[in-house]
Amino acid sequence: MNRMIFIKPHDVLRFGTGSPQKSELEHVLRTENIPKGLTLRGAIWSMLIEANGLSFPKFREIVKNGGKTDEDIYRKIYGLKIRSYGIYHEGKDSFLIKAPLDIVENKNSKKVFYYDNIRLSSKMSDEKFYTKPIDGYYVNVIVDEENEKNQSTQKVENFNSFLTHDDFILYLIGEKKEFERYSEFDGLFNKEIRTGTGISDDKNTVIEGKLFTTEFIRPKEEVRYFVEIEIDDAVKFPEEGNMLLGGDMRTVNYYIANNSFTGIFVQNRKKVKEKVKMYGEFKLILLTPGVFEKGYMIDFDENIMELKGMAIGSYTMVSGWSIADKKSKLSYRAVPEGSYYVFRLKDTDDEIIDRVFDKYFLKNHAMNENLKNAGFGLTIVGVNKKNKEVHNV
């Protein structure tokens, strides 16, 4: 059964960046604004173990064994899958989607628009807007060719903010080019700085010289985190309550709602399919960070489609706290949400189109099942109109 969980913070929170401290001299603990799937799944697991009157030490051993157990209820809780996660703005009554990298902002006019004048190249230039590569691989270069021609001082840059889900749907089907910049989406998360000291593990006393500065975030009142999950109906799941989330295990409120993040886009799947069939090209957009076997590259079938190019943002780190081992998990570099890949179909018959949508429309892709079940690599298909020739990378 699918469940839509909304999480309402009522205090500061902290979510580790997944990056280890570089040295003993580095005493600033950074935080991210949005918890990733591994963090959210751990919080929900813990809440469900308590709600179902089960033993947490026993569940820890089951996690350590990869979910293997003869006890049905433990196995069903372990089988929880995250389909999607992100943020919701209560004031706008909208899910917020990180703007894809071809949504840009004019620095002078502050106009936000879809930028279809994109040239793919393996060359980088500091004089042009581009997204940083992962491990030195080349990516899309977004070039304002008109401004180059006219030697204009006008500049565009990536719109580092969010679209409402209504605007994002219009973007997917290619029916909207200009987007509103909502002031409500600026400063959704306020950072607060706290100071603490290092504590000795064996003596539980303050360690001399270990003074830490820790970042916390305080989300705006209208901000909610959301998690869409799949879980067996046999698992008792209270409609509302509390759970512990993030570093320092801060208490947050949660409640179950009827609306569905993925359901909103499923309603528009047919429209997107018609446009993809018409143009013979599509964009594959990441809605959650992707951790792939081939680094920055998602798997695709070369027999039915060819890669035209991609726009990859600066990598983000993915980690979490291991329930089984009581320590930080292995960190991965991930392709951030908002990154996208452009493909050209070799054939646009209905069977090929169906195969593409069955594999990529609101499906999770990751290097292993654990990350996939934690909601990573959620992709969605959008139309890519062939307005101009682009160079293959």
* pLDDT tens digits for range 157-170: 778 889 999 999 99
Supply the pTM of this predicted model.
0.85
pLDDT bucket at 318, cuts 50 / 70 / 90 = confident
Cα-based torsion angle of the residue sequence 267, 95, 288, 314 in order, rounded to the nearest 10 degrees? 130
* Total Cβ atoms within 10 A of residue 350: 9
Averaged confidence pLDDT in the chain: 82
Residue 218 CB burial class (10 angstroms; 0-12, 13-18, ≥19): middle
pLDDT tens track for 250-260: 999 999 998 89
Distance CA 248, CA 215 (A): 12
CATH of domain 263-383: 2.60.40.4350
- Any bridge partners for residue 290, and if so which? 335
Those residues whose C-beta lies under 8 Å from the C-beta of residue 130, and which sit 6 or more positions away, are: 124, 139, 140, 141, 142
| Residue 77 region by backbone torsions, left for phi larger than 0, else alpha for psi between -120 and 50, else beta | alpha
- Any bridge partners for residue 364, and if so which? 378
For the chain, the residue count is 393
pLDDT bucket at 133, cuts 50 / 70 / 90 = very low
pLDDT bucket at 41, cuts 50 / 70 / 90 = very high
Instruction: Retrieve residue 371's tokens.
Output: 């990350």
Give yes or no for residue 25 having a pLDDT over 90. Answer: no
Higher pLDDT, residue 81 or 136: 81
| Residue 373 region by backbone torsions, left for phi larger than 0, else alpha for psi between -120 and 50, else beta | alpha
pLDDT bucket at 155, cuts 50 / 70 / 90 = low
Those residues whose C-beta lies under 8 Å from the C-beta of residue 43, and which sit 6 or more positions away, are: 35, 243, 244, 245, 246
Give yes or no for residue 126 having a pLDDT over 50. Answer: no
- Domain-wise residue ranges, the chain: 2-93+186-261, 263-383
